Structure 1
């Protein structure tokens, strides 16, 4: 599953998108809240978009990629299956990303594929987040669903990529979850192979 993504979202692009969607940005936030990074992997920090208590305002907050596991020897939960679950009483968030990665093959290193969302400068991935617990910082996981036609040839699951018009709907849950948490139609995502794996 998706255990790495790219965050090269420019602050000016972010502001332009938020303005177009009529979503507010806290006055104290700026480009340092959206630091660019080539690969954000499990147990690394990345910016997350979450609703504030102000009407239609969204703040960026650094969080750890991966929720702490409830199992004694379990690793972090970085992908969370969305089907059949009710997220109305959870902390919902969006993960801004310029691309996400999927891997194929059975031998290491695996072939690495880079996915981008067509027609927009960056994407937002549906997620959930949890408050800090003990010495573990606030953290998030990406929601997954059945693969759409753009991802299915490479992987049997995919993360939920939301179109910009659905960002607010996910944060405030103003549309049915089954409408939001599904794969996009064919041709929505572009894919390129950025590393050929072992034969």
Structure 2
């Protein structure tokens, strides 16, 4: 599972990296460096109607558009690549609503390998460049008409670096796959699934232990703030 990551990019850097159309609105909200399920993180999407990429803050923890009670979907922050065409939560987003998630590093709690377990390790690129994780998003509309857009990070089997700490890792997409993953160019289901593999360049990845508190909000915590709207 991938339950934490960090983002060190600001809005202008994200726009430059992913070649996004600059927004016409005023200042955007400050980005959180630490991302956990229940937080709002930057997500890159493609709009086929305008043929433009955009970045917006989405809730980490996908709420399916067909959900009646969104608080029941607290563990949808990861989607296993093997289940994308099997679980109802993922089938339509995989076909129509794929996205990219920028991350400086992803963090896993040690559950495998040698040595004491339980500590957290951060995985990043040795050259300091950001990673781009594969994700899915969906939009859920409350009875009162409010839209909540949310996302999940896709996970795959670990490569040898991550396997020393954990049995899953997020799917990392190189730049040459971004356009196809977003849906800017057509691709078959098999071609999309072929992109979801353990990151191959182990020499480029580094791991380090980190001390991070166990904190964060669940979907229920955040959606409690929307309770009057949800009950409408």
Quote how far apart the aligned CAs of 1:102 are.
0.5
Quote how far apart the aligned CAs of 1:182 are.
0.6
> Could you tell me which residue of structure 2 aligns to residue 189 of structure 1?
205
Contact 2:31 2:41 in 1 (8 A): no
Query: TM-score, with normalisation over the residues of structure 2?
Result: 0.70
Quote how far apart the aligned CAs of 1:104 are.
1.1
> Could you tell me which residue of structure 1 aligns to residue 38 of structure 2?
43
> Could you tell me which residue of structure 2 aligns to residue 13 of structure 1?
13
- Aligned-CA RMSD value: 3.0
Measured in 2, the distance between the counterparts of 1:3 and 1:60 equals 21
> Could you tell me which residue of structure 2 aligns to residue 104 of structure 1?
110
Among residues 95, 99, 106, which one is paired with 1:93 in the alignment?
99
> Could you tell me which residue of structure 2 aligns to residue 128 of structure 1?
136
Query: TM-score, with normalisation over the residues of structure 1?
Result: 0.80
Measured in 1, the distance between the counterparts of 2:26 and 2:8 equals 15
> Could you tell me which residue of structure 2 aligns to residue 138 of structure 1?
149
Q: Deviations over 1:66-103 (max 9, x none)?
A: 02376975533100011253465231011111111111
Instruction: Report the number of matched residues.
Output: 189
Q: Deviations over 1:152-182 (max 9, x none)?
A: 1111111101112221121116451232111
Q: Deviations over 1:46-84 (max 9, x none)?
A: 1110002333x2101111100237697553310001125
> Could you tell me which residue of structure 1 aligns to residue 21 of structure 2?
25
Looking at secondary structure, tell me which structure has more strand per residue. Answer: 1
Quote how far apart the aligned CAs of 1:130 are.
0.6
Looking at secondary structure, tell me which structure has more helix per residue. Answer: 2
Residues 63 and 190 from structure 1, CA distance in 2 versus in 1: closer, same or farther, beyond 3 angstroms?
same
Residues 117 and 165 from structure 1, CA distance in 2 versus in 1: closer, same or farther, beyond 3 angstroms?
farther
Look at both structures and tell me which one has the larger radius of gyration over its CA atoms. 2
> Could you tell me which residue of structure 2 aligns to residue 80 of structure 1?
79
Q: 5+ residue gaps in structure 1?
A: none
Deviates more, 1:36-45 or 1:64-73: 64-73
Q: 5+ residue gaps in structure 2?
A: 86-90, 214-232
